[in-house]
Amino acid sequence: MQGMFAVELPPAPVLFTFPSMAESDDLSAAVGQFIVEAQTQSILRRGRFTVALSGGSMPKILAEALLGDDRVDWRRWEVFFADERLVPLDHPESTFSIYDKLIFSRVPIPAWQIHTIKALPELAEAQGAKKAAHKLAEDYEEQLSRSFPDCNGEDGIAGPPRFDLVLLGMGADGHCASLFPSHALLAERNYWVSPILDAPNPPSSRITFTLPVLSAARRLAFVCAGADKSLALGNALDSGLEEDDEQKVPAGRVILKGHPVVWFVDEEAARGVEYPRSEFWEE
Ligand SMILES: O=C(O)[C@H](O)[C@@H](O)[C@H](O)[C@H](O)COP(=O)(O)O
């Protein structure tokens, strides 16, 4: 039949499973290798490595995966946070503060290449939490625009910033970044960064990348461990659930175009999940 065209389906997610992190460093070593490969390709092609990081257990996993690896070219890294809690930057629950203690303070990454939210206290005092949250999300989106000039449409390429790599965790409820199940933010398609004031996980006030930014990534990996993640993992990988199905957990709604979403999980999280396992290390 003339005029038929093949709809290009996104590549299926790839699932790598490893022994529990309590017993072995196989998972973090594989994550480190994956990051170094993405970094090398990005620097070769674009002279820098743009990364969006999650909080939770990710900082500790990345410290284990990357510290001491001399292949990591920190001076070329440009770091954003896929979500951040609206607390002062020196607060123990600030994702930036945790990364700074565990990683940034120990490696030669220029401070101006680590993009944090603006200081909060003054803003919140002056304008109240809601207005402050909107202002901080707006400012973070401006920081993105400045760091990703080609997403402003100047040279005809409009659309969300394309990170070289996004690293996400997943909650037991299937949330990623600060995109939580059944939340209106899952439908946000215009803004790249949104405030959320009713996050079910404390602290309740955050800013988060929206799905368009996560799904625009050149490479994206989830890293999750623990038996409490297996139900959400099964849901996220269930090809029978459409991306926009109400039942689909947020982590399952991140769909890349060029590359498969990659999952690095431990055997506890993968237990009972019916999905083909792939071998990370080539024989
Ligand atoms: O700031 C945050 O809380 C994170 O960005 C959040 O999305 C995290 O990645 C998940 O809650 C998984 O956390 P764990 O890996 O610690 O389970």
Q: Which residues line ligand 1 (CB under 6 A)?
A: 54-58, 83, 95, 169-171, 175-177, 224
Q: Say which CATH architecture domain 16-270 belongs to.
A: 3-Layer(aba) Sandwich (3.40)
Ligand 1: residue of 28, 51, 60, 83 to mutate (most ligand atoms within 8 A of CB) is 83
Residue 136: both structure tokens together: 């901080």
pLDDT of residue 3: 61
Long-range contacts of 148-151, Cβ-Cβ distance < 8 Å, separation of 24 or more: 148/50
C-alpha dihedral sign at 279, 255, 175, 40: positive
pLDDT of residue 120: 63
Task: Report the candidate in 185, 165, 189 with the shortest Cα–Cα distance to residue 175.
Answer: 185
* Per-residue exposure over 72-82, b if at least 16 CB sit within 10 Å of its own CB, e if not: bbbebbbbbbb
- CA angle, 51 as apex, 150 and 164 as ends, to 5°? 55
CA of 58 to the centre of ligand 1 (A): 7
Residue 153 CB: number of other CB atoms within 10 A? 10
pLDDT of residue 127: 72
Whether this model's ipTM surpasses 0.90 comes out as yes
In angstroms and rounded to an integer, the radius of gyration of the C-alpha atoms of the chain is: 19
Residue 77: both structure tokens together: 């890294």
C-alpha dihedral sign at 180, 91, 27, 279: positive
Cα separation, 48 vs 27, whole angstroms: 26
Residue with the smallest CA separation from ligand 1 atom 1 is 55
Cα separation, 199 vs 211, whole angstroms: 16
Ligand 1 atom at minimal distance to the Cα of residue 176: 7
Per-residue pLDDT of the chain (283 residues; tens, 9 = 90+): 566 677 778 899 999 999 999 999 999 999 999 999 999 999 999 999 999 999 999 999 999 999 999 999 999 999 999 999 999 999 999 999 999 999 999 999 999 999 999 876 566 666 778 888 999 999 999 999 999 987 765 555 578 999 999 999 999 999 999 999 999 999 999 999 999 999 999 999 999 999 999 999 999 999 999 999 999 999 999 988 888 888 999 999 999 988 999 999 999 999 999 999 999 997 6
* Per-residue exposure over 2-37, b if at least 16 CB sit within 10 Å of its own CB, e if not: eeeeeeeeeeebbbbbbeebeeeebbbbbbbebbbe
Q: Tell me the whole-structure pTM to 2 decimals.
A: 0.94
